[in-house]
Amino acid sequence: MNDNQANSAALLLRISLGIMFFAHALLKIFVFTLPGTVQFFASVGLPGALAYVVVVMELGGGLLLITGTGVRLVSLALLPILLGALYVHAGNGWMFSNANGGWEYPAFLAATTVVQAILGAGSYALKLPFENASTTTQTH
């Protein structure tokens, strides 16, 4: 794989993950509502106030991924949300189509978020000053 292919792959993954996180935040706001999301978090043993943190992180993290800003750091910061979702859905079986959702979707998203953290931003990114200009690791 050449650098152009790796940068394009990182870009596609970054945009996809960003849209997914942003969409899940909007789902919590407009479909489940914030009070409903707080109630759900409390019903599974999590602090209800954590719902607000998750929504803000999904909204902000999604936008940062889409723009390519701080991608490695943002990906790692979003990983605990997916691990929490994996924990919540673990007892529901493998398939996400099971009642109350299974664990395969959050597990897949956690894996892709780790891959994004490894790959970096890819092409067309607004990188932070401390980020390396190159996304891919050079091999010799």
Residues 21-46 pLDDT 10s: 999 999 999 999 999 999 999 999 99
Answer whether residue 125 is part of any domain.
no
Q: Assess contact for 92 and 103: CB atoms under 8 A.
A: yes
How far is residue 29 CA from its own chain's centroid? 17
User: What radius of gyration do the chain's Cα atoms show?
Assistant: 16
Answer whether residue 139 is part of any domain.
no
What tokens appear for 2 in the block?
Answer: 């050449």
Answer whether residue 133 is part of any domain.
no
Q: What is the pLDDT of residues 86-133, one digit of tens each?
A: 999 998 988 878 888 889 999 999 999 999 999 999 999 997 777 765
* Average of per-residue pLDDT values in the chain: 91
**Where do we find the tokens 């691990």?**
83
Answer whether residue 66 is part of any domain.
yes
Answer whether residue 105 is part of any domain.
yes
Which residues constitute the domain of residue 93?
A: 3-119
Secondary element (H or E) of residue 26: helix 3-26
Q: Looking at the 3D structure of the chain, how many domains does it have?
A: 1
DSSP letter at 138?
P
Answer whether residue 135 is part of any domain.
no
